[in-house]
Structure 1
Amino acid sequence: MRKLFITLIILSTSSTLLSQEKEKEKNIGTEVVNVVKPYSPTLSDAFKIKETPRLDDSVTAAKKKISYNIFSVPVASTFVPAKGKATGLKRAPRESVYNSYASLAVGNYNNATADFYTSRALNRDETLDFSLNHHSSQGGIDGVELDDKFFKTKLAAAYNRDDRYIDWGVEGGFSHQLYNWYGVPLGFYDESTLNSIDEKQSYYTANLGADLVIEDSFFTGGDVSLRYFFDAFSSGESNIVLNPKFELPVGEEWINLNLSLDYLNGKFDRNYYTTEQLKYSNLITKASPNLVILKDDLTVNLGATVAYKFDIENSDSDIYFYPNITASYRLVQEYVTVYGGLEGDLKQNSYHGFQEENPYISPTLNILPTDKTYDGYVGVKGKFLPNLSYNLRGSYINESNKPLFAMNPETGTINYNTEGYAYANSFGLIYDDITTISVFGEISVDVNRDFQLGINAEILDYNTDDEEEAWNLPSIKGSLFMDYQINNKWFLGANIFYTGERSGLFRQDTGTNPGETFNMQVVDLDSFFDINAKAGYRINDQFSVYLKANNIANNEYTRWSNYMVQGFQVLAGVSYKFDM
C-alpha cells in the first residue's frame, strides 16, 4: 500500500511538469470573461461543523446508591443567635462655626487689648464685615522721665460681592493713635525743663478703597485707595493710588500690563528750625508690561517698568527705567528649585508710612521718593523632607535717596524750637545713596495642622555714600515662630525676634548757625532678643481663656535711641465666639 502511494505521487508530479512545459510553447491569446454577478459571500455560505463527542472511558465507574439516616440528639443550650448589625464609621463631631468674635485682655503696665470681628452673609453672593482693634498702655517704664503711655484704636468695614464673572468689594476705616516723645537723654535736662515739655502726639487716618476682578476680559481688574492722614500739629497728607491691570494677546502669548498712578500731597505746619511751612506734592505713574514663559520645569518672567515722576511743588520731572526679570527652574521636583531675578522700582515715601515704621518722628520731615535702581538676587528653595522646607537667597541692592532715621538735633534749650519733639527725643530723615548686600535663609516645619515651626535670619552689609553709618539699620535680623495645637482643648504659641547692633546719631545744635553746626556723637545700640509666648484653653466651642507673656527675658532694650521698651509683660484674657 505504501509503495502504491509513493508511485502515484511521482507520476502526478511528472505530468504536471510536462503540462507546464507545453504551455510555454503555446500562444495564450486573448479571451473575454463576462462577469454576470460579483460574488458577495453571506453568512449562510459558511457552516459550522457539528460534532457530538462520544464518551468511551473504560475508567468511568457506575455510581453506587447510598442510603443513610439522620440520628438527632437534643442538646441543652441557652445560646440565642443575635441579629447581625452593620458597623458604621465613627464621625468626629462637627465644629461649630460662628460669624463673630470678641476678646479682651488686661495685664501689668496697665496694658489692655480688645478685638471684635463679625462677618455677615447678606446672601449667597454678598458679605459685610466689621472689625475693631484696640491696644493701650498707661506706661511705667523704669527710668523714663516723661509720660510713656500710648494707645492705638482702629475701626474697619468691608463689603464684598461675588458674581459669575465679576468680583468686587469696597472697604473703609478710621484709626486714632496716641504716642509720647518720652525718649529724652536721661539726666540731660533739669526738672523745670522736663515739666515744660509737652510730649504728646496724636495721629489720625481715614481711608477708603475698592478692588475689582473680571474674568474673560482684557481688563482683568484693579484696585483704588484714598487715604487722608493728619496729626495734632496741623500736618496733613492725602494719597490717591490707582492700579488697573490688563491682559493682552500677542501672537500665541499673553502679556500682562500693570499700570499705576500714585498721587501724594501734604504739608507740615513748620520746619524744624523756622515757622515756615513744608509742602510736598509728587505724582508717580508707572507702566509694567511682562511676559510669562512656562516650559516644563522652567518659568521665566520677562518684563520692565517705566516710571514717570512729577514733582508738582518744584515743577520738576524725571523718567526712570527698571528691569523686571525673574526666573526659576525646578531641578529635583519639589525638593530643589533655583531662582533669580533683577528688579527695580520707584517707591513713593509718605508721612503715614514713616509713622507706621517709627511713631517717634517729628512733624517736620522732608518727603522724597526712593529710587531702587536694581535688586539682583539668586537663591535656591525646596524641601529637605515632605514636611521640612527651606529657602536660601543672596541679593545685591542699589538705592538712591534711601531714608535713614536719625535723631533730631537738640534745640529746646536754645529756643529755636521749643515744641515737645525738639529735645533730642524725636527723629528726622537723612537721605543717602546706599548699596546693600544681603544673605537670607529660612527653614519651616509643617508636620500637620497641629504643629508649625519656622525660623529665618538675614545678614546685611551697608555701604553708604555720604553718611558715616546706615543709621538705625541692623546688621543682623532673625525671628522664630511656633504654633502647637496640643489637643482639642489646649493650644500654645511662641515667637522670638532678634535685632543686631545698630548705630544711632546724637546731634546738639551749637547755636552758632542754626541747622548747620552741631556737636555730633555716634551712639551704639546693643542687639536684643524679644521673646513672647501664648497659651490658651478652650472651655467649649465658644469660650476660651488665654495667657500672653511678652519680653519674657525682661530685657528693657532700646528699640530707638533713648527709647527703652517695657520689661516683662503678662496679659490674661478671654475670647468669645457667637452669631449675630
Structure 2
Amino acid sequence: MQHQIKYIIVFFLGSISVLAQERDKDTIDTQVVNVIKPYTPTISDAFKVKEVPTVNQDTTLKKRPVRYNIFSIPVASTFTPAKGKAADVEKEEPIKLFDNYASLGVGTYTTILGEVYLNHAINRTERVGGYFSHHSSAGGIENLLLDDNFSLTQLNANYSRKLRDYSWKVDLGFSRQVANWYGLPPVSFNQTTASMIDPEQVYSSFYAGGKLNFQDGIIKSGKVKFRRFYDSDDSGENRFIANTVLNIPIQGETINTEINVDYIGGNFNRTFNSNTELNYGNINVGLAPSYQLTQDDLTVNLGINMVYLNDTEASKNKFFIYPNITASYRLVNDLLIAFAGIEGGLIQNSYHDFVQTNPFVSPTLIVAPTDQRYNTSLGIKGKLSNAVSYKVSGHYIADEAKPLFRANSVLTGATEDYQYGNSFQVVYDDVKTFSIAGELNVDVNRNFTLGLKGEYFGYNTDTQAEAWNLPDIKGSAFIDVQIDRHWFAGASVFYVGERKDLYSELGSLTMPIDTVITLDSFIDANAHLGYRINDQFSAFVKGNNLFNQDAPRWQNFPVQGIQFLAGLTYQFDF
C-alpha cells in the first residue's frame, strides 16, 4: 500500500515538473516525498460469512394441557329482591271543549247581558251555526232630564261547506240598537221642556253575505255582502260590497290582484235646520295589483291601488291612484325587524259606520268618502323571547275630507228631538295626523297573557279650528290569567286623553255663538273573575268603570258610574 501511494505521488510530482519546465522563470526543484501512514481498516473492508444454520425438521412442539378448578362454597341468605314498580303520576283530566255555549248575567242599572253561540257539524263537510246576543240597561245616570236607557240585540245564522278544492259560507243577520239623545247642554232647560222631547232613536240593520275560498287556481277568494240600515226617523241606507282576490302567474312570478266594488246609497228626510231632503250615493271600483319580492332577510311588497269613483247624486266621476308599498328587513333574526311603508286608499264612509262610533248622531248627516292620500309608517318590531313580543312605530297620514264628530247647535225654536244641542253632526276637513305608538305583548302560555299599548297623536287641520273629538293620547292594557283548573280572572284598562268640541247656539235672528269645550281625559277600568263549577257550568262576576269616573265620552253625555254584573255560562254539544 505504501508503494502504491509512493508511485501516485511521484507521478503527480512528475506531472507538475513537466508543466514547470514550460515556465522559464520557475525556480522550484523537483523532489520526491514519501508519505507513510499505518493501515486503518474500515467497515467496507469487512466481508460477510456466508453460512446458513441448519434446523432439525424432526423437532416438534407439544402444547401441555392446563386445568382450572373452581372451589364453590354455598352461602346462606334470606334476601329476596322485590319486583320493580313504576311510581304513580297523577294525570290531570283535560278540560272538555264544547261547540256551543249560553251565557246570562244581570247587574246594576238593571243591566241584562245574554249570549247564545251555536256551531253544529252536520257531517264532515257541512256546518251550521249562529249566535244571539243582547245587552241592555234601564239607565239611571244622576242629574239627567231625559231617559238614558240603551239596548243592542244581534242575531246571526250561517251555513258553511268545505270540499276538496274549495269552501264556501253564507250568513244572514239582523240587529236592533236603541239609543237616546239624553245629553242636554247646561242651559235653561227644565223638566217641562224636557218632557216635550222624545230622545229615543232606534237603528235597525239587515244583512246577507257569502264567502268563497279556493285551494288552487287563479281565483283565491271572493266575498259579497249587502246591508240595509235604517232608523226610526225614516232614514235609510243600502250598501253592497264585492271583493275578489286573484293570483295571476306571469313568467314564473305571481301577481296578487284585488278587485273591489263598493256601492252605497241613502237618504235623510231633512237637513239639521231645514226640511230639505238629503240624498247621497256613490260607487267605487278598485284594482290593486301587488308583487312580493323576497331576498334573504328582506321582503318588499310593491303595489298600486287604482280607484274609480262615480258620485251618482252629483253625476261626477274621479280617478284616484295610491301607492301600496311595504317593506320589512330582519336585522337580528326575529329579535329585531325593521319595517316601513306608504299606502293609501279611498275610504267609503257610511251612516251605519258613523252610528257604530257615535250612536248620538242626528239623522241629518252628510255622507261622503275620505281620500286618504297616503299613510306612511316606520318602525321596528320583534320578539324578546318566545313569549314576549314588541312593536314601536310612527305614522304620518294625510286625509282629505276626513269626517269629524262635532256637537250640533242649540237651535232656537227647535222642532226635532235632536235640535237641543243633544246630538252630533259630521263635518269634513283635510287633516294631517302624526302619531307614535308602542305595544308589548306577553303570552307565556294559555294560562297567562298580558298586553300593553299606547299612542300619541298630533293633528293639523285646514279649515276647522280643532280636530274635533279626536284624543291626543290613547292607551290600553289587558291581562288574562287561568289561576287553576277552576278559577280564572282578567282585567282591562283604557285611557283616553283630552278632546276638543264646540258649543254653539243658533237662532233665527242671531249669529252662532261658538265656544270651544275641552273634554277631560278619563280612565275606564274593568275586571272579571270566574269559577268553573264543572265542565259545563261556570259562574262569573264583572265590574266596569271601577274608578267610578263620570267624565263624558262625548260633550254633555256622561256615562254610568261603577257597575257590577254576575251570571252563569253553560257549555254544551248537540
User: TM-score, normalization: structure 2?
Assistant: 0.87
Look up the equivalent residue of 1:565 and give its one-letter code. Answer: V
| Cα deviation, residue 68, structure 1 | 3.4
Instruction: Report the equivalent of 1:99.
Output: 99
Instruction: Report the equivalent of 1:488.
Output: 485
SS at match of 2:194: helix
SS at match of 2:179: strand
Instruction: Report the equivalent of 2:167.
Output: 167
SS at match of 2:384: strand
Instruction: Report the equivalent of 1:462.
Output: 459
Instruction: Report the equivalent of 1:341.
Output: 341
| Cα deviation, residue 191, structure 1 | 2.2
Structure 1 CA distance for aligned equivalents of residues 175 and 45 of structure 2: 123
Structure 1 CA distance for aligned equivalents of residues 351 and 46 of structure 2: 124
| Cα deviation, residue 451, structure 1 | 0.7
Deviation digits for residues 177-213 of structure 1 (CA, Å, limit 9, x no counterpart): 1011000013531222111001000000101111111
Instruction: Report the equivalent of 2:318.
Output: 318
Residue 434 (str. 1) matches residue 421 (str. 2): no
SS at match of 1:305: strand
Instruction: Report the equivalent of 1:533.
Output: 527
Residue 286 (str. 1) matches residue 289 (str. 2): no
Instruction: Report the equivalent of 1:572.
Output: 566
Contact 2:309 2:317 in 1 (8 A): yes
Aligned pairs, number: 523
Structure 1 CA distance for aligned equivalents of residues 129 and 479 of structure 2: 29
| Cα deviation, residue 3, structure 1 | 8.8
Pair member with larger Rg: 2
Contact 1:105 1:112 in 2 (8 A): yes
Look up the equivalent residue of 1:490 and give its one-letter code. Answer: W
Contact 2:145 2:191 in 1 (8 A): no
Structure 2 CA distance for aligned equivalents of residues 383 and 443 of structure 1: 10
Residue 508 (str. 1) matches residue 499 (str. 2): no
Residue 497 (str. 1) matches residue 494 (str. 2): yes
Structure 2 CA distance for aligned equivalents of residues 222 and 501 of structure 1: 42
Deviation digits for residues 399-455 of structure 1 (CA, Å, limit 9, x no counterpart): 0000000111111x424xx11111100000110000011101111111222111111
Deviation digits for residues 101-135 of structure 1 (CA, Å, limit 9, x no counterpart): 01111111111100111110000111111101110
Instruction: Report the equivalent of 2:194.
Output: 194
SS at match of 1:573: strand
SS at match of 2:142: coil
Instruction: Report the equivalent of 1:390.
Output: 390
RMSD: 2.3
| Cα deviation, residue 159, structure 1 | 1.1
Structure 1 CA distance for aligned equivalents of residues 120 and 558 of structure 2: 42
Structure 2 CA distance for aligned equivalents of residues 242 and 203 of structure 1: 24
Structure 1 CA distance for aligned equivalents of residues 509 and 159 of structure 2: 58
Instruction: Report the equivalent of 1:561.
Output: 555
Contact 2:345 2:374 in 1 (8 A): yes
Moved over 3 A (4+): 2-6, 60-65, 67-73, 79-92
Instruction: Report the equivalent of 1:36.
Output: none
Residue 180 (str. 1) matches residue 192 (str. 2): no
Structure 2 CA distance for aligned equivalents of residues 5 and 110 of structure 1: 131
| Cα deviation, residue 82, structure 1 | 4.8
Question: Mapping of 1:116-265 within 5 angstroms?
Answer: 116-265=116-265
Deviation digits for residues 201-245 of structure 1 (CA, Å, limit 9, x no counterpart): 000010111111112211112110000000000011000000011
Instruction: Report the equivalent of 1:414.
Output: 413
Look up the equivalent residue of 1:493 and give its one-letter code. Answer: G
Deviation digits for residues 349-393 of structure 1 (CA, Å, limit 9, x no counterpart): 000000000000000001010000000111100122332211010
Contact 1:510 1:519 in 2 (8 A): no
Structure 2 CA distance for aligned equivalents of residues 5 and 293 of structure 1: 89
Structure 2 CA distance for aligned equivalents of residues 499 and 230 of structure 1: 30
Look up the equivalent residue of 2:472 and give its one-letter code. Answer: S
Look up the equivalent residue of 1:497 and give its one-letter code. Answer: F
Unaligned runs of 5+ in 2: 1-43, 49-59
Match of 2:469 among 441, 451, 472: 472
Structure 1 CA distance for aligned equivalents of residues 526 and 219 of structure 2: 46
Structure 2 CA distance for aligned equivalents of residues 121 and 373 of structure 1: 46
Structure 2 CA distance for aligned equivalents of residues 67 and 331 of structure 1: 75
Unaligned runs of 5+ in 1: 7-54
| Cα deviation, residue 562, structure 1 | 0.3
Look up the equivalent residue of 1:546 and give its one-letter code. Answer: F
Deviation digits for residues 148-187 of structure 1 (CA, Å, limit 9, x no counterpart): 0000000011111111110110111100110110000135
* Identity across matched positions, percent: 43
Structure 2 CA distance for aligned equivalents of residues 145 and 322 of structure 1: 49
Look up the equivalent residue of 1:560 and give its one-letter code. Answer: W
